[in-house]
Amino acid sequence: MSKKTKIGIIICDRYRNCGGGKCFRALQNREGAFDIYKNDEDLELVGYTSCGGCPGGNIEYAPEEMKKNGAEVIHFATGFVVGYPPCPYIGHFKKFIEEKYNLKVVIGTHPIPEKYITTHTKLGTWNSSEWQEMIKPTLANENTRLSYN
């Protein structure tokens, strides 16, 4: 029997109307930040919501509900890092959820689309070592990034 991991996804409220297609595709294909899971590992999505808008009012409550539904890992959607500006609260959100709810938090879902790599490289958005670490889980190869444009 394969291991089952239950996941919650929290998206940036700027994208609250997002249908989740890229996140769900990446989950199914184990791409982007979901490549940390083995192909034979059964993944179950137990929650999908927005942060509630700046400064993340839903961050205080949504992880608790997801945990009650069995979530073991919370993924912050890639929109948190590709939006402009990237979420200035993401580090605080991660620390809060990990400490309060004892849940692993992964920054990212689907691979960063190539068009965002181009824009943020020109802008110098992710030049710090801190941002390089945050985007690392979603830096797939160029062909994969192009397929998410």
- Give the pLDDT score at 98: 98
Which CATH number do you get for residue 68? 3.40.50
* Residues of the chain under the 50 pLDDT cut: none
Tokens of 122: 């020109």
- Angle (CA) 19-24-28 rounded to 5° is 160
- Give the pLDDT score at 3: 83
Closest CA to 74 of 85, 57, 89, 90: 90
How many domains would you assign to the chain? 1
Rounded Cα distance, 37 and 3, in Å: 10
pTM of the full structure: 0.94
Taking only the tens place, the pLDDT of each residue in 40-81 is 889 999 999 999 999 999 999 999 999 999 999 999 999 999
- Give the pLDDT score at 40: 83
Closest CA to 76 of 51, 108, 98, 99: 108
Range of the domain at 131: 4-147
- Give the pLDDT score at 39: 83
The CA distances from residue 119 to 23, 83, 104, 113, in Å, are: 21, 10, 30, 10
